[in-house]
Amino acid sequence: MFSKLATFALAVTSVAAESVPGYGGYNVVWQENFNGNAGSLVNENNWNIIQRSSNANNEWQTYTRSSQTHQLSGGQTLQIVPQNNNGAWTSARLEGKYVFTPSDGRRTIIEAKIRFGGNPEWQKQGIWPAFWLLGDSVRHGTPWPQCGEVDILETVNGRPTGYGTVHCDVAPGGICNEYTGIGATASLPDNGWHTWRILVDRTPSNWVDESITWYRDGAQFHRVTGGRINNVNVWNSLATTPQYIILNVAVGGDFPGAPNGDTRGGWGSEMEVAYVAHYQST
């Protein structure tokens, strides 16, 4: 993802509370399990709750800190729910305060378990959920896409497709063919729970052989190497410098297009997240 206000009934989460899974050969470095009372906001020691009405990509939504647009379920999940008030869309964007750098000589995994609301595709035109990373340098004045962006998962318009993409270098054009990026897709068999991850492999002795690989439920669907980028400074922006995690649901914009009269806000168009975790190889 390039750098109805109404009475809000609490939803019952559809996943039992669970621990972040362990993987052989990896340690959990950081995790977010979304513990808290039902209806409460996310832990602000871990997340910045973005509030703004002006957004990139010609998006429609205003991001708010209201529990109408994001809340903890009380069952150790986060729920982000876009809302439509007569065409005035609101939603939530959470940006991690946790900043990590993929370590030289190690493999790094960033993973989340995510599900989507059950509204049919024809009621989700313009709905744009995402789990992604931005280079922390953007917080210190580096412009997009020079800061680097790694989209671990995006979906648009309720399609049964997950997108994984990198954005980099300059826009328009450049090494990453902006504003499109370098991407690939994975099928989304249903709206239920699936794990989405990237693995940054910095074990090769030469940066051109380093890689970022995308997985859905453990199955690879995309890979980008340093050699494909073919510029060490640009590769560093994607794979070797500080990054932070973003969870959001946008509405409208250049990628999905505008919502229409059939687009539904509220429950059924939500993104729910069971955990986010950072792992490093031992």
48: in domain: yes
Q: CB-based burial of residue 251 (10 Å sphere; 0-12 exposed, 13-18 middle, 19+ buried)? A: buried
Does the residue 6 lie in any domain? no
Does any domain span residue 150?
yes
DSSP summary character for residue 59? B
pLDDT of residue 78: 98
pLDDT confidence of residue 18: 66
Q: How many structural domains are present in the chain?
A: 1
Q: What is the pLDDT of residue 11?
A: 42
Q: What is the CATH number of the domain that holds 81?
A: 2.60.120.200
89 contacts 259 by C-beta, under 8 angstroms: yes
Q: Tell me what pLDDT residue 66 has.
A: 96
> Distance between CA atoms of 252 and 124, rounded to whole angstroms?
10
3-class state of residue 108 by DSSP: strand
Quote the CA–CA distance of 210 and 107 in Å, as a whole number. Answer: 10
Total-model pTM: 0.94
Which residues make beta-bridge pairs with 219?
A: 216
How wide is the angle at C-alpha 146 spanned by C-alphas 210 and 126, nearest 5°?
A: 100
3-state DSSP: the chain helix, strand, coil percent, rounded to 5?
A: 10, 40, 50
Q: What is the reported pLDDT for 19?
A: 80
Non-local CB neighbours of 162 within 8 Å, separated by 6+ positions: 153, 154, 155, 185, 186, 187, 188, 196, 216, 221
The reply to whether 25 falls in a domain is no
pLDDT tens across the length of the chain (282 residues): 544 223 333 343 444 456 899 999 999 999 999 999 999 999 999 999 999 998 989 999 999 999 999 999 999 999 999 999 999 999 999 999 999 999 999 999 999 999 999 999 999 999 999 999 999 999 999 999 999 999 999 999 999 999 999 999 999 999 999 999 999 999 999 999 999 999 999 999 999 999 999 999 999 999 999 999 999 999 999 999 999 999 999 999 999 999 999 999 999 999 999 999 999 999
Task: Find the domain containing 61 and state its range.
Answer: 34-281
Residue in the structure block whose two tokens are 């009380």: 74
In a domain, 74, yes or no: yes
- Looking at residue 17, its pLDDT comes to 57
In this structure, is residue 3 part of a structural domain? no
In a domain, 23, yes or no: no
Cβ-proximal residues to 24 (8 Å cutoff; 6+ apart), any chain: none
Q: Which residues contact 103 (CB under 8 A, 6 or more apart)?
A: 202, 280
Residue 241 lies in a domain: yes
Q: Where are the beta strands (DSSP E) in the chain?
A: 26-32, 47-49, 62-63, 70-72, 78-80, 83-85, 88-91, 93-100, 107-116, 127-135, 149-154, 161-167, 182-187, 194-201, 211-216, 219-225, 243-251, 271-281
